[in-house]
Chain A
Amino acid sequence: MAQAAAVAKPPAPPRRRRASTAPHRLPYLLIAPAALLMLGFIAYPVISVFYYSLQDYNPTKPWRNGFAGFDNFVHAFTEDPQFWDTLTFSAQWVVVEVGLQLLFGLALALIVNQTFVGRALGRALVFSPWAVSGVLTSVIWVLLYNSQTGITRYLADMGIGSYGTSWLSDPSTVFPAAIVADLWRGVPFFAILILADLQSVSKDLYEAAEVDGASRIKQFWHITLPHLKDAIVLSTLLRAVWEFNNVDLLYTLTNGGPAGETTTLPLYIANTSVDAHNFGYASALTTVAFLILLVCSMVYLRLSKFGGGGK
């Protein structure tokens, strides 16, 4: 429309655009609101976390507050077994969860990318948990895992599992139970992102490959997967960071229990700061978490040669 209108009118008389000064300031004006918000509510808090990590800071014990140097960090790495436990659990959680999500998400995307009857409805249905929040996911799975009325009871009737304790309060089942609950919501995320990218693969490539006699598995390895690489690398990274940082699900599903079995580092930090008011120590742990994420992301992006090594 707009294009047509532009063509239809006779060319306007040459006119000096007021372009000499405006573009100079305009981009800065345009990013100013975003920049200010981010400076005030991300950059400043980050800096204050770094600052507090070097302090003893606990509002309930003001007499001890003051500069602490690296004591908080030393304490975390040498004297606090809980720190190592939560760190190990976080790593397990992220690796297992994101790995399975990627695997199932890729499979799901490949399936719903095919043409078949009822595709639109099928897509809408399998993607629907994506929109569900961490808290709502917890609600749903608490209902399912309830030992009295949950689906686990009916499964026990069929010989899968046993009666009595909820899968969420038994240390031997809580990890897989929480993983399944999070998969339910996380697989569609990957599927949506991968599907979006799948649709931009040129059909010609497949037809050419077919003429050359490549099997569908070969087509997948040599056409589909390389094409999806950047999407997979990026969505895996985002999801891993997100799964690491997210506390909504585990906080409401297990609250880190039973017996600290499912406490991630961020959950531990939240407990240390909000419940125990040990802000200095919590800030040090936050700093450690931030650095771990940063280093892991850099290594990951380097290893995966994101962007194909170009710009």
Chain B
Amino acid sequence: MITEEATRVAPVPAPPHPAPDRPRRRRSRAWDEAPRWQIYVPLSVYLLFTLVPFYWILLFALRRPGSTSLVPWPVTFEHFEKVWNEREFGVYFQNSVLTGVATLLLTTLVALAGGYALARFEFRIKRGFMIALLCTQFVPGALLLVPLFQIFAELRMINSLASVIIAETVFQLPLSMILISGFIRNVPYSLEEAAWVDGCNRFTGFRIVVLPLLRPGLIAVGSFAFVHAWNHFLFALMFLSDQSKQTIPVGLNTLMSADSVDLGALAAGGIIAAVPVVIVFAFIQKWLITGFSAGAVKG
């Protein structure tokens, strides 16, 4: 603390006598140095609100059926076994992974191409295209279920994961493209031009010079797409009628709307649903915030 104060004041060339009568700053706290209790008290309250629900689901998933103890001890994994094997969460899990990864790759690739065009070129329909991208944000995906269903039925893609992957990708694309074009604009054009002078063509120049700098942004966008596809519920519910094609959120909904709800199984299923997302989230958290501050709101 004290040293920080010192360094902040130090650069100002001090008069030979640090005159005691000089108006001293009465409150010398910087913005990011609020009193400790102003940080820890509200944060603790909020942490409680955040963590109790997580604890509750762990409790139900880990304690034995019929137990009302508030501590999940002795721990049992029978709920997980049951959900994974009898309730086919193993199958749902695979389907969800497939959907999530495919959506991630497709979204990132298509948005990267489009985002590059928007960032680096002037072309006739650019403005119209940008407006169209923004307008899609007002189009409620859930409300387009019926026409989308008809389209996928025409294409004979009902009951195939491809329909869900396409639908998820399409609704991720506009925002991803806006974000990525923002990230690319942050990379100085002169870097690319220098690469061309060295004999790269546009593609290799992009790959060697721009792409590495985009990594944080791409990770943010890609994981966004993955998390969305992993979590989203309605497209899978509507387009996949075959139970063996279903994804995890639909499986959870089935558990929840069963006549007699098995709370332990429900909790275990919820944890299975959360694990990949939590892992992704833990990895990207750092990049997420820098990624956003780089491109998101500034455009």
Chain A CB within 8 A of B80 CB:
no
Complex contacts, B40 vs chain A, CB 8 Å? 116
Chain A CB within 8 A of B158 CB:
no
Proximity bits, B261-280, A CB within 8 Å = 1, else 0: 10100110110011001101
Chain B CB within 8 A of A174 CB:
no
Interface size on B, residues (CB 8 A): 112
A30 to chain B: closest residue by CB: B117
Check B39 against A114 for contact (C-beta < 8 Å).
Answer: yes
Report the bound CA distance from A184 to B55 in whole Å: 14
Chain A CB within 8 A of B209 CB:
yes
Check A282 against B136 for contact (C-beta < 8 Å).
Answer: no
Check A26 against B121 for contact (C-beta < 8 Å).
Answer: yes
Check A210 against B53 for contact (C-beta < 8 Å).
Answer: no
Contact pick for B34, options A9, A15, A114, A230, CB 8 Å: A114
Chain A CB within 8 A of B75 CB:
no
Check A40 against B110 for contact (C-beta < 8 Å).
Answer: no
Interface size on A, residues (CB 8 A): 115
Q: Contacts A140-B53, A245-B141 given: A135-B195 contact, CB under 8 Å?
A: no
Complex contacts, A63 vs chain B, CB 8 Å? none
Chain B CB within 8 A of A158 CB:
no
Check B50 against A107 for contact (C-beta < 8 Å).
Answer: no
Check B278 against A34 for contact (C-beta < 8 Å).
Answer: no
Chain A CB within 8 A of B126 CB:
yes
Check A286 against B136 for contact (C-beta < 8 Å).
Answer: no
Check A42 against B136 for contact (C-beta < 8 Å).
Answer: yes
B57 to chain A: closest residue by CB: A140
Q: Contacts A46-B144, A241-B137 given: A37-B170 contact, CB under 8 Å?
A: yes
Complex contacts, B214 vs chain A, CB 8 Å? none
Main secondary structure of the interface of B (DSSP, over half): helix
Check B173 against A34 for contact (C-beta < 8 Å).
Answer: yes
Contact pick for B256, options A139, A245, A274, CB 8 Å: A139
Contact pick for B198, options A5, A127, A142, CB 8 Å: A5
Chain B CB within 8 A of A176 CB:
no
Contact pick for A38, options B136, B195, B209, CB 8 Å: B136
Check A31 against B117 for contact (C-beta < 8 Å).
Answer: yes
Chain A CB within 8 A of B56 CB:
yes
Q: Contacts A139-B270, A142-B266, A210-B25 given: A38-B143 contact, CB under 8 Å?
A: no
Chain A CB within 8 A of B30 CB:
yes
Known: A115-B32, A140-B57. 15 other contacts (CB 8 A): A2-B208, A2-B209, A27-B117, A30-B117, A45-B148, A114-B34, A128-B50, A128-B54, A135-B252, A140-B54, A142-B261, A143-B263, A219-B31, A252-B253, A269-B143
Interface residues of B (CB under 8 A from A): 8, 25-34, 36, 39-40, 42-43, 46-47, 49-54, 56-57, 60, 68, 70, 110-111, 113-114, 116-118, 120-121, 123, 125-126, 129, 132, 136-148, 150-151, 166-167, 169-171, 173-174, 177, 191, 194-199, 201-202, 208-209, 212, 227, 230-234, 238, 249, 252-253, 256-257, 261, 263, 266-267, 269-270, 273-274, 277-278, 280-282, 285, 288-293, 296-297
15 A-B pairs with C-beta separation under 8 A = A6-B194, A38-B132, A41-B148, A42-B139, A114-B33, A125-B51, A136-B273, A139-B269, A140-B53, A141-B53, A150-B56, A193-B296, A203-B30, A248-B234, A283-B146
